[in-house]
Structure 1
Amino acid sequence: MAAGKGTRMKSPRPKVLHKLGGRALVARVLDTASGVGARHVVVVTGHGADQVEADIAADFAAMAPRFARQMPQLGTGHAVQQAVPLLPDDGMVLVLSGDVPLIAEDTLRALIAAADGERLALLTIEFDDPTGYGRILRAPDSGRVLAIVEQKDADATQRAVREVYSGIMAVPARLLKPWLARLDNRNAQGEYYLTDIVGFATGDGVPVVAHRIDDAAQVAGVNSPAQLAALERTLQLRQADALMAAGVRLLDPARFDLRGTLDCGTDVEIDVNCVFEGAVSLGDGVRIGPNCVIANVRIEAGAVIHPFTHIDGERAGATVGPGALVGPFARLRPGAQLGAGVHIGNFVEVKNSTLAAGAKANHLAYLGDATVGERVNYGAGSITANYDGANKHRTVIGDDVHVGSNCVLVAPITIGAGGTVGGGSTVSKSTEAGALTVARARQVSFANWQRPQKKKP
């Protein structure tokens, strides 16, 4: 179910598209549905339906989700009614909420097993303060589930019940469909409650079972920015705990953010305030300094990423070779491929460029669309002028080249192996191997030069 507006989010963006750990709320729910082997996925949309459906269709093309629109939104029972034509009679229906993103696969498997193809299974939990939730009503003698009563329809005794319905259930489609047809809206909210099917089940002699868990985060919904932020911290701490359990050393797990996937080798160290996005792989012995943003990159064994470095390979990806040193304050962009032992220093930017083993660009430099050979020393303030205003061109720098400070290499150009480019040169023609190239105006000095003086009023 993903039709709600999310008024308290105070945002034009549909609630289920707000992100948790870098992923839309509804996408996390669909990831879990995929993990339990869902045969068909039906997403009930309403508010912002066009945007929600477009985002889901693009993100889950392989899953081929189908959509049912709930217009207007008349309650949870009404939402599931819209999906009925798309539910095969021989299936087990798992009802999930698009704004409850941390439900776990093993919990859902246990719930499906509890339904066992013949029963209505409810996921429940006990809260010290159950305000706002539907209460589970049980027979006093046997403890058998009899019904769910919503908060607004409950009397004082029923409101004192601490076991609540999470909003998640598993039920055979052949039983669910006739129960949905019997729903009415004669209640305090004038809505069609999905929870009313519990009474229908007991009346029809169908067993109703409750699978109770004690992990509140799994059933926590998001209705406000404050709730989203609280759940973000919960997710991040759980991810941090999992990484530390696998041997990763986090200097402070409370100051760690993972908004994608992070695969780590042994003896990896991560300092504070680092953000990982997309798909990141860290090899054995990698060290990440504080305040780094790292996305879509493979960092190989023994590499060190110094503080305040920004790496994002985006779709093209990026690679940092074994033993490489990057930063501080460096930036690697898509297509940056650093070989073994490469040094990229402060305020150096690398984009769509390959640097072979031992190459160094230690200060204030730009390498774009370049192929850099082994042991190249690339001077401070030097750049590859790779864009002519319409097209990108490539710069090739051979092995053992030394490029002096404040040089401009105007692509397309090749600097021959072993060559030297004198500082301050603007080079627009390819050079021979081993050559010294200096391309700057002859220095002229005027003795006893007097600078202009300001005129006094």
Structure 2
Amino acid sequence: MSLDVVIMAAGKGTRMKSARPKVLHPLAGRPLLQHVLETGIGLGAERLITVTGHGAEQVEQAMRRALPDAPLAFVRQEPQLGTGHAVQQAVPELPESGTTLILNGDVPLVKAETARALIQACAGERLVLLTVVLADPTGYGRIVREGEAVRAIVEHKDASPEQRQIREGYTGMMAAPTAHLKRWLANLKNDNAQKEYYLTDIVAMAVADGVPVVATQATGETEVLGVNSPVQLADLERRFQREQAEALMEAGVRLMDPARFDLRGTLRTGRDVAIDVNCVFEGMVELGDDVQIGANCVIRNARIAAGAVIHPFTCIDGEAAGAVVGEGALVGPFARLRPGAKLGREVHIGNFVEVKNSTLADGAKANHLAYLGDATVGERVNYGAGSITANYDGANKHRTVIESDVHIGSNCVLVAPITVGAGATVGGGSTITKNVGAGELAVARGKQIGIGGWARPVKAKK
């Protein structure tokens, strides 16, 4: 049986007080709408139909870039005349049979298992509502029952004082037999206080048609919370991060403070991993056994092998190329690894050292204030403080090769393309523009002179 997902994402989000469409505001590093679409992809939907309105082009382009291989379709709701009107715009994209799951683009954390329960309960035959019991259901449509049977949903603004005492609220999500849904949508009226077409009115139509109306309940409040303001977005972010932190701790990760932890991608961890406070993980990150991450680190798209230590205030951003830290390596504090940085076993990268598109073999060290760009560094190289590879000539990048057991003195410039042979030494303060042979000493600097009797200038008296 076919499954289609309709996602309502047309609202302006006035309370966000932002020029950005509400559904593009990020939660855990991804737009709200992307979370919902990824849930739909995980359900195996044949089509993911997003109803856009405010900022439609921006929303559609962003999702096509983020999910280029997903079965996306977009329809416009202009003007916005209610939830029923929104889903009406998707009708031309829906088949004649199967199940349609309706989700909200600003409710990003609905769980896949919750959505599957809706789909299974529907089975192409029943209208199934996702509900939640809340201590304070203000703003939610109330579920009106006769025993176990659902008879109606009454919007909060249209509910009587008695109906507002009902604690079971409608989350805005449902699964319906597609053929019935299309007929019900065609018969919606806007004879209500807001002159809008309510999707919730199809409940009464289903009851009248003898179609069973049932409800399944969400596992908790967090997965059905919507975002309408920066305050609500921040609250949902912390709830989500706490869930991720608890899952990691259950798997054995030692988080110094789960309230000061942010995961904005995927984090895979080995045994006995320790993460200090205020660390941010983005993209795909893998931490091997016994890895230690110091406080205030940002790590994105990186693989860090067993026993490595990332000292505080280190930034590792592998972007698309990725970054690799070898076993037992020491990085930081205040170090920066950029795309293509690949560190071997027991490599040391110290404070204020930047590595980009460079490979450092086992035991190499760059401990202070240095830059390695487009370089191949051999085993046991000692790269001095203040030294750089001058890899860019203003138009093209060039590579520097430093073979094993080389010693680069402090404050050197290696002008690429260049090779420094195995065991060579480059004297401090040198600017090297030619290859250095194996075992050679290369010195390229002005001769030091001393001038006796010299006096400093003094200021002229006024």
Q: TM-score, normalised by structure 2?
A: 0.98
* Higher mean C-alpha displacement, 167-176 vs 58-67: 58-67
1:54 equivalent in alignment to 2:77: no
Find the counterpart in structure 2 of residue 12 from structure 1: 19
User: 2:37 matched to which residue of 1?
Assistant: 30
Work out the percentage of aligned pairs sharing the same amino acid. Answer: 69
Q: Which runs of 5+ in 1 are unaligned?
A: none
**Residues in 2 aligned to 1:312 and 1:418: alpha-carbon distance in whole angstroms:** 32
Shift of 1:213: 2.8
Q: Does 1:186 align with 2:191?
A: yes
1:152 aligns with 2:157: yes
Q: Give the corresponding residue for 1:101.
A: 108
Aligned residue among 438, 446, 455 for 2:451 = 446
Q: Secondary structure at the match of 1:96?
A: strand
SS of the residue corresponding to residue 27 of structure 1 reads helix
Aligned equivalent of 2:170: 165
Q: Offset of 1:396 from its aligned partner?
A: 0.5
One-letter amino acid matched to 2:427? G
1:93-242 correspondence to structure 2 within 5 Å: 93-139=100-146, 142-242=147-247
Residue 116 of structure 1, CA deviation: 2.1
Query: Does 2:419 match 1:414?
Result: yes
Residues 297, 313 of structure 1: 8 Å contact kept: yes
Which residue of 327, 331, 336 corresponds with 2:332? 327
Cα distance in structure 2, aligned partners of 1:91 and 1:234: 35
**Residue from 353, 370, 375 that aligns with 2:375:** 370
Match of 1:68 in 2: 75
- Secondary structure at 1:132 match in 2: coil
Cross-structure match for 2:345: 340
Q: CA deviation at 1:423?
A: 0.3
Structure 1 residue 130: deviation in Å?
Answer: 1.4
Corresponding residue for residue 5 of structure 2:
none
1:359-416 CA distance string (max 9 Å, x none): 0000000001101011000000000011111111111001100000000001111111
Provide the rounded CA distance (Å) in 1 between the counterparts of 2:97 and 2:179: 7
In 2, Cα distance between the equivalents of 1:397 and 1:175?
71
Amino acid in structure 2 at the alignment position of 1:107: T
- Does residue 303 in structure 1 map to residue 298 in structure 2? no
Residue-by-residue CA offset, 1:43-87 (whole Å, 9 max, x unaligned)? 110000001001111222211301111011110000000000101
Amino acid at match of 2:320: R
Question: Which of 191-200 and 156-165 deviates more?
Answer: 156-165
Q: Give the secondary-structure state (helix, strand or coil) at the position aligned to 1:357.
A: coil
User: Deviations along 1:320-339, whole A, 9 cap, x unmatched?
Assistant: 01110000000000110101
* Residue deviations 1:233-282 (CA, integer Å, cap 9, x gap): 00000000000111111111011100111010111110111011111000
Q: Kindly provide the amino acid, as one letter, of the partner of residue 267 in structure 2.
A: L
Structure 1 contact 300–321 (Cα < 8 Å) conserved:
yes
Contact 1:236–1:258 (Cα < 8 Å) also in 2: yes
Is the contact made by 1:57 and 1:64 (CA closer than 8 Å) also made in structure 2?
no
Q: Distance in 2 between matches of 1:45 and 1:115?
A: 26
CA distance in 2, matches of 1:218, 1:169: 14
Structure 2 residue ranges without an equivalent (≥5): 1-7
What is the rounded CA distance, in whole Å, between the counterparts of 1:52 and 1:91 in structure 2?
Answer: 27
Amino acid paired to 2:260: R
Aligned residue type for 1:86: E
The correspondence for 2:299, drawn from 294, 297, 314, is: 294
Shift of 1:214: 4.7
- Structure 1: distance between partners of 2:9 and 2:331: 43
Q: Is the 8 A contact 1:324 1:338 kept in 2?
A: yes
In the TM superposition, residue 146 of structure 1 has moved relative to its aligned partner by 0.4
CA contact 1:126–1:214 (8 Å) conserved in 2: no
Distance 2:302 2:217 in 1: 41
What per-residue deviation string (whole Å, max 9, x for no partner) do you get for residues 294-320 of structure 1? Answer: 111000111000011010000111100
| Paired AA for residue 314 in structure 1 | E
CA contact (8 A) 2:114 2:219 kept: no
Residue 371 of structure 2 aligns to which amino acid in structure 1? Y
Please give the alpha-carbon distance, in whole angstroms, between the structure 2 residues aligned to 1:214 and 1:21.
21
Letter in 2 for 1:422: G
The answer (yes or no) to whether the contact 1:126–1:164 under 8 Å persists in 2 is: yes
Are the aligned partners of 1:369 and 1:386 in contact in 2 as well (CA < 8 Å)?
yes
Query: Structure 1, residues 127-149: CA drift from partner, whole Å, max 9, x if none?
Result: 1211111111112xx33110111
The Cα offsets for residues 150-170 of structure 1, whole Å up to 9 and x where unpaired, read as 112111111111111000000
1 CA distance for matches of 2:443 and 2:177?
80
Name the CA distance, whole Å, in 2 between partners of 1:95 and 1:82.
13
* CA-atom RMSD in angstroms: 0.8
Determine the structure 2 residue equivalent to 1:44: 51
Amino acid at match of 1:327: G
Which residue among 242, 257, 266 is the counterpart of 1:261? 266
**Once the 2 structures are TM-superposed, how far is the Cα of residue 448 of structure 1 from its aligned partner?**
2.1
Q: Please list the CA deviations of residues 408-447 of structure 1 after superposition, one character each: whole Å capped at 9, or x if unmatched.
A: 0011111111000000000001111100000001111101
Distance 1:101 1:191 in 2: 25
